[in-house]
C-alpha cells in the first residue's frame, strides 16, 4: 500500500500519529515527523534506492535508464536540492 506523504486537503507534509506492532498489536501514539527520505515522492525514493543499488554510480544509473550522464546528474542534483529544502 502506498504511504501517503501529503495532506489531501492542504498539501502539507503529513506527520506520523500512530504506529502499531504487527506482532503484539501494541500501539504508539504521538506526533512524529516523517524522515526526510519518506517525505519524497515514490519515484524519488525509487531513484535514491536505484542509486544505492548501483553502488552510487550515476553513470551506471544512466546506462540502466538509457539516459545520458548529464541528464541523470541533473536529476540527482535537483533531488539533492529538494532534500536540502526538506532538511531546513
Partner 1 sequence: MMNWKTIFNPFGRFDERILLCVGILFFIVLIPLCFWTGTYFSSIFRLAHPQNIDVKNIILHNVISFVSAILVLYGLGLLFYRKTRIIDIANTVLLSQIPLITILPLEKVFYIKKVGERVVAYQNHPTGAFPFFDFIVMIFIILITLGALIYSFILLYNGFRTAANIKKWQQITIFCLVSFLTILICQTFNN
Binding site for partner 1 (CB under 8 A): 66-71, 73-74, 77-78
Closer CB to partner 1, 14 or 44, in the complex: 44
The smaller minimum CB distance to partner 1, of residues 34 and 76, is found at 76
Distance from C-alpha of 1 to C-alpha of 64, rounded to nearest angstrom: 26
Q: Are 12 and 34 in contact (CB under 8 A)?
A: no
- At closest approach, how far in Å is the CB of 56 from partner 1? 16
Query: Shortest gap between Cβ of 59 and partner 1 (angstroms)?
Result: 9
Least Å from the CB of residue 47 to partner 1 = 16
84, 77 Cβ separation under 8 angstroms: no
**44 close to 5: Cβ distance less than 8 angstroms:** no
Amino acid at each position: 500500500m502506498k504511504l501517503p506523504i501529503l495532506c489531501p486537503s492542504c498539501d502539507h507534509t503529513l506527520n506520523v500519529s500512530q504506529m502499531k506492532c504487527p506482532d503484539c498489536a501494541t500501539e504508539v501514539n504521538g506526533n512524529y515527523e516523517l524522515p526526510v527520505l519518506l517525505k519524497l515522492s515514490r519515484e524519488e525514493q525509487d531513484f535514491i534506492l536505484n542509486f544505492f543499488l548501483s553502488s552510487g554510480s550515476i553513470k551506471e544509473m544512466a546506462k540502466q535508464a538509457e539516459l545520458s550522464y548529464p541528464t541523470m546528474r541533473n536529476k540527482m542534483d535537483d533531488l539533492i536540492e529538494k532534500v536540502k529544502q526538506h532538511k531546513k
